[in-house]
Amino acid sequence: MNFIDKFFLWLVLLPASLYRSLGVDIVQLRAILSAKLTMDNRRPASFGSNRRKKEKKEVNGATLKTIFSSLIMGLLMLFAFAVGNGMLTKLSLFMTMFIFMVCLTLITDFTSVLIDIRDNLIILPKPVSDATFMTARLLHIGIRTSIIVLPLSVPALVVATIMQGPLVILPFVLMILLMTLLSIFFINAVYLLILKITTPAKFQNIIGSIQIGFVMIVMLAYQVLPRMVNSSLMQHININEIPFVQVVPSFWFADGCMALSGGGFTLGSAVSLALSIVVPLLSIWVVVRFFAPSFNQKLGMITGGTTEQSTVTTKPDVDGRTNRAGKSIWQRLARWVTKPGAERAGFLFSSSMMTRSRDFKMKVYPSFGSIIIICVVMLFQNHGLEGLSLHSPKWMPILLLILYMCSLPLSTALMQVVYSDKFKASWIFFVTPLENPGHVISGTFKCMLFLFLAPFALLLVVLGVGLLGFSALPNLLLGCLNLCVIGSFMAYLMVRKLPFSTALEGANQGGTFIRTMLFLIVPGLLGVGHWLLSGFQWVIGLWIVLSAVAFWLILDEVKKKGWQNLQ
């Protein structure tokens, strides 16, 4: 442990008598926390893990890097003090962002800490009580969160002190502590409630969906919030004019902070101050008192792989047939767009992995959400839709821009499709009499088209017909075919391994820059050419035929890939 971890360990162990009254063994608590903090400080950052493994260097500075990253985020959150015409409004906005960022950090980065199934193998076989186990977990989360919270809040504390005076320092620090406790135990309570009402197998999928949703929210906030600062409406907003704002926890903390710093006590501020103190402390008691016993049992179910058995099992074969309960949508699609054998097996296998693999979804799905967010911002910023009426020809370049931008997340999926944390299961590819592995890659690529491209294409076609009429269909059809050509070309050049057959440690090996530039240049050139020729219908018709032939030829070459073409 470094000096920062040692300081926090000493700090959280100060109320030892309180822990003993809850039935906690202090010696065991110290040992567990020391081991966990040592492991955390040696955990490398994801962007540099591969390089460190090659260089065989010991990692022992993760805490300091986390502090630096949090400080940068704290500086970016200072724009909250540029919004509104009162200190209460500014503090309310900052504290809303603060609670959101803490919860986001817990969900995205600390899921392995919150739901650490390794403890079942290491700690639970030992004579450790539930109270000690749960207290160690909560204190560990508190320490790791404090390492983020302190640099996240220091810039705001400095600005608030300058604007409000030194009397705000102690109330601000108190509210930061209470907000942190509320955020920590709110996330813990949500996780524990999810474990109570659902099966451990579904729990991982729920957490993954929450993580993806939060990533998209952050992307949206990054695009929208800076523009809100320049809005005249945001400059003159008053938090007290918002209906039912008194039920929002961040308002409690802001109002309580203003009351304690000399803003004057009213009935409303007294209620807010009481809620800001009572609710976090009550949350601690509820989590430790009621959720701790069943939490360990649920963790055991996760470790043991207990899953909910469905009442009806469906077993598809290579031809997509099922022996019970009919056919799924993916099996029907496989029968329509793939040939029986390796291609159909690759389609069905990839559809299961792409829709179930948490690592794949975390790396690919947010990129599709970012396309939607960026397009919406581009359309509405600076009155981008002003003057655009129904059937206006200016809609066509906008629709084409959105359509060709879909190639970027499709390229992300192509780059990630070969990687998996369960790569050892790929032995099944090498023991089967598979003559041309290119058929598996072709089936995987077709699955990606239907999973990632077809929904966007269908939405844009409906939108284009509604805005421009059926005259927009040729251009939209050409755009979709060009995306298929781009994707098949990239699959032919870049996918040189079977799907989900490579360890994640190899995901950052060379060629990433060249591939990224290729993914940007090719769609960009095609998109510009399409836009320049979009008014010539006979050219578009001829291009449609050429693109369809090119797509068929390239996909046929992908199918012909042999073992000698794979790495």
Cα separation, 404 vs 486, in Å, equals 10
Cα separation, 104 vs 111, in Å, equals 10
The pLDDT score that the predictor gives to residue 46 is: 41
**Cβ–Cβ under 8 Å, residues 219 and 372:** no
**Cβ–Cβ under 8 Å, residues 148 and 71:** no
**Cβ–Cβ under 8 Å, residues 538 and 407:** no
The rounded radius of gyration (Å) of the Cα atoms in the chain is 28
Dihedral sign, Cα of residue 399, residue 400, residue 401, residue 405: positive
The pLDDT score that the predictor gives to residue 234 is: 63
Cα separation, 325 vs 332, in Å, equals 13
**Cβ–Cβ under 8 Å, residues 413 and 364:** yes
Closest CA relative to residue 210, chosen from 115, 313, 336, 83: 115
The pLDDT score that the predictor gives to residue 493 is: 82
Q: What is the pLDDT along the chain (567 residues), one digit of tens a residue?
A: 677 888 888 888 888 888 888 888 888 888 888 888 888 776 654 434 444 444 444 445 667 777 887 888 888 788 788 877 788 888 888 888 888 888 777 766 665 565 566 676 788 778 888 788 878 877 887 788 778 888 888 999 999 899 888 888 999 999 998 888 888 777 777 777 777 676 666 666 676 677 677 667 666 666 666 666 555 556 667 777 777 778 888 888 888 888 888 777 788 888 888 988 898 888 877 766 766 555 555 655 554 444 444 444 444 444 444 444 445 788 888 888 888 888 888 899 888 888 877 778 777 877 776 676 666 666 655 445 555 555 666 778 878 888 888 887 788 888 888 888 777 777 777 777 777 888 888 989 999 888 888 888 888 888 888 888 888 888 889 989 998 998 888 888 878 888 888 876 655 444 555 666 666 788 888 888 888 888 888 899 999 999 999 999 999 898 888 887 776
Q: What one-character DSSP code corresponds to residue 308?
A: P
Closest CA relative to residue 92, chosen from 237, 271, 283: 237
Cα separation, 77 vs 95, in Å, equals 10
**Cβ–Cβ under 8 Å, residues 153 and 75:** no
Full-model pTM: 0.64
The pLDDT score that the predictor gives to residue 109 is: 61
The pLDDT score that the predictor gives to residue 170 is: 92
**Cβ–Cβ under 8 Å, residues 303 and 320:** no
Cα separation, 481 vs 469, in Å, equals 20
Neighbours of 524 (CB within 10 A): 13
**Cβ–Cβ under 8 Å, residues 460 and 399:** yes
